[in-house]
Structures are given as structure tokens and as C-alpha cells.
Structure 1
Amino acid sequence: MKRSDNLTGALLMMGSIAGFTINDTFLKLLAGNVPMFQVLFLRGALTTGAVAVIAWRMGAFGGSVPRRDWGIMAIRTLAEVSATYCFLTALFHMPLANITAIMQALPLSLALVAALVFREPLGWRRLTAIAVGFCGVMLIVRPGSEGFNTYALYGLAAVGCVTVRDLSTRRLSRGVPSMLVTFVTSASVMTVFGMAGLGREWVPMTGSEIGLITGAAAFAIGGYVSSIMAMRIGEITYTAQFRYTSLLWALLLGWFIFGDWPTSLTLLGAGIVVASGVFTLYREAKLGLRKSGRSLLPRR
């Protein structure tokens, strides 16, 4: 039985998410032993080298890029660097499942900011889903409660930075190769954190720590490649909903490796956020079908 493109895209997306979550787990295992800037530079060196080879084999370096797109890539790169710093700061000080649950608000923030900035249509159903989703985020963060962790604010800042990054990506011309954008981003992250670490003390690493950084780079590369393949094979509105499997991976890895299990309120909030995001994706898919249906009607 032949496998459909959507099913293949869904499997690739789940593989991508698994790769990124395992990468996060390896980085968290290094917290407190190896400085964050040292970790990011070394991982960045490995990923940038691999991405450069992949981009070269795909012919991503061959064409010319308009000046406008270089400006957008600069904004995107700045957002990526900021998101990396905020996310890893939160990751090093919070349970894996908690920061992963906060990041599930990304599709909701993308829909809201796209409506405000790009004037994309946003009906009352999706607006209600966004409001409910952010209520779920507040259950996860719980500002003002005794269990509130100020590093949750770094997680929320990471959501904001990734929102800017992804919306900037939307503004890039279709002719700009995805692997070129990935290479520029990876090289920039490596350079920025390498320079930031120049005035700080670097520590000698054990064999297991070197193995963790190498493993993190390998899973990150696998995540990048699988994500790009998923976007090229399946329908985006279908495959995107499988990003939420990151929460399942984070719950399992957080429990088995770090002995962390979220509170009932955190799980409830995560469930609300995921349900709201899936509904938002469903509405986008439904509206997309209506638009495509109207475009197929004969003109008078």
C-alpha cells in the first residue's frame, strides 16, 4: 500500500520534532558543567559545517539574493540569536516539559501577530482560540504564584523572538533557498556566541560532555533536514499540527532523565494550548480549502 504525501510529511515532522527535543535534552544535561556560550559555539561549529555541505550539494549557494531579502535575513537572524539565548536560559533553569509547553503557544502568537501586522484575516473563532490558548499559557507560567519561576519570562520572550523569526521568513522571496537561510542563521548564531564567549572562561570538557555536544549537533541537523523535507512533501496545514508531539517527547525525556513531572495545572494549561493550536490550524486549513475552491470556479 502506497504511503500518502501527507503521511510521509507527518512522519518527517514527528522525526524533526524528536530530533530537536533530544537536542534540547542533551544541552540541558550540560547545564552547570559547561558555560552556555561555549556549548552554543561548539554545537554551532558542528551544525554550520554540516549545513554548509548540505546547502552546497543542494545548490543553495549558486544564485543571487536580492538586497531586500538580505535585510529580511538580517532581521530573522537577530531574532534567532535572541530566541536561542532566551530559550536556552529558560531550558537550563526549568523542567524540560515546562519550557516545551510554553513554546506550544507559537502557532497562536503567529496567527495573532500576522493578523495585526500583515492584516491577515482573523475570524472570531480563531480569535477565541488564541485567547483561550493564552489562558492556558498563564496556567503554565502562573505569574504571582509561589511556584512561579522568573525564567518562564525567558520562555515567553523566546516565543516572541521565534514569532518575529517565522514572520520574517514569510516575507522572504520564494526564490531564496531554504538551506541558504539555514546556513546563514547557523553561522551567525555560532559567530555571535563565539564572540560573546571570548571574554569568559572556557572549561575543559570530559569525553561524555564532548559526546553530548556532538550528539546535540547531530540531532539538530537531523531536525533541520527532516523539517525541510516535511515542508516540501506534505501540506503545511496538515504536517504543522504534528509539531505538538514535542510535548510528548519532553514529558517522557523529562521524566526518565531528569525525574521531572509537571504539576496538574501545568498539564492542564499545556492541554489547553495544544487544543487551541490544533483548532487554529484546522481553521486555517478549512479557510484554505474554501479559497482554493473559489479560485477553481469559472470566471464570468
Structure 2
Amino acid sequence: MITTRQQRILPGAMLLALSALLFSLMGVGIRELSTTVNNESVVFFRNLVGVLFFLPLVFWRGVAPLKTTRLRSHLWRAFFGLAAMYCFFYAIAHLPLADAMLFTYSAPVFTPFIAYFWLKEPLTKKIAAAAAIGFCGVLLVAKPSDAIFEAIALVGLAASILAAFAFVSIREMSDSEPAFRIVFYFALFSTLLSAIPMLWAWQPLNAQQLSLLALVGVLATTSQIIMSKAYSLAPPGVIGPFAYLAIVFSALIAWWQWHEVPSLSSCIGAVLIFISSLAALWANRQPSNNKG
């Protein structure tokens, strides 16, 4: 007999896979834009589209759901998330697409340590060991012995660490701030902050570039909303690994579009990062299993 929980797992997994595909397509759009549009413009328009996307929801639901007493926490989340976005988009423009995606999805490697020092969350030996495995995978993707990729790989590494700080900042205020409010203030503050570099980095844009920038913003926002829906249907510990399909989709698209073939070290690194994620999920579920 199929339980209600099992009936929700399959739709949740499929939605998360769809979110991963849209995120990969966003990466393709950023790569295409990077040849003619500077990084500052890509980041600004991605966030601007996010704000425009949420405006109808704000008008429909009113401003009451947006009232908050934790603006400082929202600003910290925007700061870390925006800095990660600048680094991530730069990595997409200069690294193989699959490698850039790997850096993004390696953020959970650093999250337990940041949460330990910031939120005083417990750091067990099993979680630390899982993170260590993931870090070895990150090093293989970064190729520290390769002088050509060393500096750019550091940008990708910075993107993953900053994203980890952003994740922990969300966790820090999740006790009082719903997801809708967190996403809205991130889009709003990120748009305002990313508008500052446009004072000196503005460039004329044609209709094709504007259309692609709008598409990137829509893909990113839609992917985020679908991901939230997926996790509302099924627990992250069950369907979370499906998010890593973004790496597979990115590798296949990059191979088809630009003939990029991931290196052996990147493939091994991807496997280690994936194993690290599964090990961390298993370690987090151990206490509940022991109680049964």
C-alpha cells in the first residue's frame, strides 16, 4: 500500500529535478551573455527581474506579510547572497559550466562549520568527516596545481563559501521569517545594492541582450520557487540529492553547446561532493533513527 508520504515524494523529486534543469539553463544564459555583457549588469538585471516577479504577489497579498523587525538579518543575507552571486556568475563566464555548478553545490561542505561558529549548532564527528570528504572533492574541482585555473577557481571557491554564509543567515532568521519574506527582501536589497556598481559599469544594451537578461532572471526566480515547492512536498533529506542533477544537466548542455568535457579530476570531485552530501544527510538522520 502506497502511503500519502510516498505519493508526495515522487512529485517533490520531479519538481526538484525540474528546478535543477532551469538552474542549468540559467547558467547557459549567463555564459552566452558574458561574451558581450559585463558581470555587474548580469547580476543587477537578474535581481531586478526577481523584484518585478514578486510585485504582483505583493499587490495581491498586501504589505502585511512583509512587516519585519529583522531588517539587519535580511541585509546580512542579501550581502552574502549577492557577493556569492557576483562570484558565481563570474565563474560561469570563465570556468567550464559543470565546474562552476560544482562550486555552487559544494556550499553544504562549509555550512556545518559556519553554523557551528555562528549559531553554535553542534558539529558531530560524522558531519565533520562528511564535510572533509566534500572538501577533498572541492579541491579536485579547483585543480590547485593548475596555474591557468588557479585564480578563477578561487573565485568559484569564494562563491561556495559565501553561499554557505547565506544559507546559515537564512537559518538564523527562519524562526520568525517565512520563506516568502526572506526571498522578497533578498530580491529587494540585492537589486538596490547591485544598482550601485551600475553607476560606473552601465553599458548600452540591445533588445537581444535585454531579452536574454530577462530570461535569465525568470529562469532563476522560477527555479527558486519550484525548489521551494518541491521541499514543501517532501523532506530535503529524501529528495535533496536530486538537486545535483543540475551538474549533470550543465555538463550535458556544455558538451552539446561548447564541446566542453569535464576533466577526470572534476568527475572524481563531483562524486566526492555527492557522497559528502549523502553522508551528511545520513549523519543528521541517525539520532531520529536511534530513537525508533
Q: Compute the TM-score of the two structures, normalised by the length of structure 2.
A: 0.90
Shift of the 117–39 alpha-carbon distance from structure 1 to 2, 3 Å rule, reads closer
Indicate conservation of the 8 Å contact 1:102/1:156, yes or no.
yes
Alignment partners' CA distance in 2, 1:256 and 1:72: 42
Task: Indicate the residue corresponding to 2:63 in structure 1.
Answer: 61
Task: Indicate the residue corresponding to 1:297 in structure 2.
Answer: none
Task: Indicate the residue corresponding to 2:168 in structure 1.
Answer: 167
Alignment partners' CA distance in 2, 1:34 and 1:146: 26
Alignment partners' CA distance in 2, 1:74 and 1:290: 39
Structure 1 vs Structure 2 CA RMSD: 2.2
Alignment partners' CA distance in 1, 2:233 and 2:58: 18
Candidates 42, 45, 50, aligned match of 2:53: 50
Cα deviation, residue 248, structure 1:
0.6
1:243-291 CA-partner distances (Å, limit 9, x unpaired): 2111111111111122211111111111111111111112213334446
Alignment partners' CA distance in 2, 1:140 and 1:248: 15
Cα deviation, residue 173, structure 1:
4.4
Task: Indicate the residue corresponding to 1:227 in structure 2.
Answer: 227
Q: Mean alpha-carbon deviation: is it higher for 257-266 or for 108-117?
A: 108-117
Structure 1 residues 133-172: aligned runs within 5 Å: 133-172=134-173
Indicate conservation of the 8 Å contact 1:60/1:177, yes or no.
no
Alignment partners' CA distance in 2, 1:174 and 1:115: 17
- Matched positions, count: 289
Indicate conservation of the 8 Å contact 1:60/1:179, yes or no.
no
Cα deviation, residue 116, structure 1:
3.8
Task: Indicate the residue corresponding to 1:197 in structure 2.
Answer: 198
1:45-66 CA-partner distances (Å, limit 9, x unpaired): 2221112223444x37314644
Q: Compute the TM-score of the two structures, normalised by the length of structure 1.
A: 0.88
Runs of 5+ in structure 2 lacking a partner?
A: none
Indicate conservation of the 8 Å contact 2:65/2:181, yes or no.
no
Secondary structure at the aligned position of 2:64 is classed as coil
Cα deviation, residue 146, structure 1:
4.1
Identity between Structure 1 and Structure 2 (%): 21
Indicate conservation of the 8 Å contact 1:51/1:182, yes or no.
no
Indicate conservation of the 8 Å contact 2:119/2:172, yes or no.
no
Shift of the 159–189 alpha-carbon distance from structure 1 to 2, 3 Å rule, reads same
Task: Indicate the residue corresponding to 1:38 in structure 2.
Answer: 41
Cα deviation, residue 26, structure 1:
0.3
Secondary structure at the aligned position of 1:4 is classed as helix
Runs of 5+ in structure 1 lacking a partner?
A: 294-300
Indicate conservation of the 8 Å contact 1:52/1:183, yes or no.
no
Residue 4 of structure 1 aligns to which amino acid in structure 2? Answer: Q
Alignment partners' CA distance in 2, 1:76 and 1:135: 27
Task: Indicate the residue corresponding to 1:281 in structure 2.
Answer: 281
Mapped pair 1:20 → 2:12:
no
Alignment partners' CA distance in 2, 1:285 and 1:31: 41
Task: Indicate the residue corresponding to 2:216 in structure 1.
Answer: 216
Q: Mean alpha-carbon deviation: is it higher for 280-289 or for 178-187?
A: 280-289
Indicate conservation of the 8 Å contact 2:19/2:226, yes or no.
yes
Indicate conservation of the 8 Å contact 2:104/2:163, yes or no.
no
Alignment partners' CA distance in 1, 2:115 and 2:182: 21
Residue 273 of structure 1 aligns to which amino acid in structure 2? Answer: I
Cα deviation, residue 18, structure 1:
1.6
Alignment partners' CA distance in 2, 1:124 and 1:200: 46
Residue 131 of structure 1 aligns to which amino acid in structure 2? Answer: A
Indicate conservation of the 8 Å contact 2:142/2:157, yes or no.
no
